[in-house]
Structure 1
């Protein structure tokens, strides 16, 4: 697999003829509700390149939505998966357990923030882990209400759709949703600046705004948990103002409210720390992980304070596939790769490189309202020049042109006007800069 050339190459127009054929087969076989960002079909992937069935090599600035953080088909992961699959693929941890599950739990307890005694439980997807975190918080506190935040994304199951803020495409037509879910204002410095500098730069002030609404509309006596992404993902890679998260955490601790950090997209070295909440030195009560945990194998987890994690009764948590042995092997190899290859530091290097290039682009282009993010989780927010008005049309045009040019990019944001970059941490500087150069040329053409 390492023989896959780490260079962009367009053998055909995109999509090529084999991808077009597969799109026709897909239309006849796959439910219409399953969307696709690009009309190409992958054949191989390694490092910073995805090769499609027509031989086109695409620069990967999406990592399968922050999943293949250590690069697709990473050698340690391939070896670990092959070895585990040859020994056994499933027994169900709730029936005949196995060491891999325990080893992953031990690693998570060691790596997540905080020095106190911790426990972990493993599941399959981010949504499933979020639901279980809420279950655990409700069991521990004896309370029912949960508060999420504006622009949040927490998943597509019924409860997590209720927690998710954006209606299209995630919630429209799928209600009614789970009850006892409420929403508070997020610290969104770029958009808060429209209403005053203090709110945009003072995270404690922004947190007090949210806490005031929580107190009045929910009441701490009814609130089991507050769940928040330390850096919001689908909402637009929003980094809250400094002080917002610690102030919120302090209020939760003072009011017997479980603070849940949803690090599904921001965890496992993605932001230049093993977990994004480390940037503000906070220790959540529970932390939810998935995506980058196992380099593409389906696995997720809830990790947290032992007294909270142990609150549910025996057999109250679990699932047939939760902590699948092959996925656990992949997770252990992924963690080993992050540590052995210095990928936390590599994410910080990528941030410096990307912010420098995109910052210079912003200085010459009034359509770029903000460049933001941490590590290899960087975003550009497009606006109508001279305003805060979101420009979703430009964002769609940039994405479409990038895809035709052989660069995988993704959009996000409540208003559909954010271009997000999630390159694998193993991408070369040259390949990353080439991808950004393509974006720059597209913006000039547009």
Structure 2
């Protein structure tokens, strides 16, 4: 999102429609960069709760409807791929129509998808449509590319920290509410859990409409850390075409493919394997689903600390080396997991949860920083495409993990294979150039 530094007064805002004043409109609620970040965090938390519920639905759908785990995994895979494919177009749409419109619409989509899943679904293909496509579209438009856009527009200083905080918000939605949702599934059924999330989305949407603004210039403010007033850039027409053009430009560079490959492995080793298959794998060893969900929630708690710390480190250290370290340790943890799963929660498994939690989403701030370094004002859209690779990796392992469980009766091969992928990602991270190549972005 490029901005023009040529003017330092509020009269240099983008041209308003005919007959309207160029004076910035004051919102009903006082807005600062930090309050906008807080509003964005609420939307990200809400959307994040949808991304891990699928892991709790595997058992109930298999038991009630008789679907195989592989068939259920197809729906989860569609959700993850659509989630990823939506992100770059959502970032471009935010440039065209603004974050408020896109985010409010996204929350409406996830609510509709959850309601249809709970009330109208009778076949596996409908799970792929309602949960896979509708929920995938909504969560993809209100997740990491959204966080990158907020950070880019509202902050000049502390970008790494803010990225970490907004990523942590996603983690809160993904993990911290899992025990509650698990309890709802156990007591009232999976449909009640889906409808509970739909209600949360419906309640959050109007709050986003009231509190989100597209750019600091709309409320007569400067981005945090800016020394001069920054006018709002003119809306960019042709959002879809722009997203594709940015992809074609980025795809001609080596850093894009290195970042996409490492982030695909990141998705495979988080969303794909842990968020989808950890709870069923623990249950295979005799652990109650509520206990497994509580462990995932504990991962989420440590995700918050790890992601915020990663954002702080990204402002100060080489992002490539950070990524390499994160992937190396994550791979070792996954390699050890088959030896740690038992019917009860033991200290070694808690140690795994702490380590994995600290590293789980810590890859996001350095990846966004590398996108910014290499692709400049197109960074949010490029990160959206990189995030698409993340979700392709996640979807592939979500499906293959379920298929492996059906074929071999165990998830052990899945953990070992994913650990090997993490070792590859560590090497690819070190191979990524640390500077912005001339002529890119």
Q: Do they superpose with TM above 0.5? A: no
Higher relative contact order (CA 8 A, sep 6+): 2
Which structure: greater strand fraction? 1
Higher helix content, 1 or 2: 2
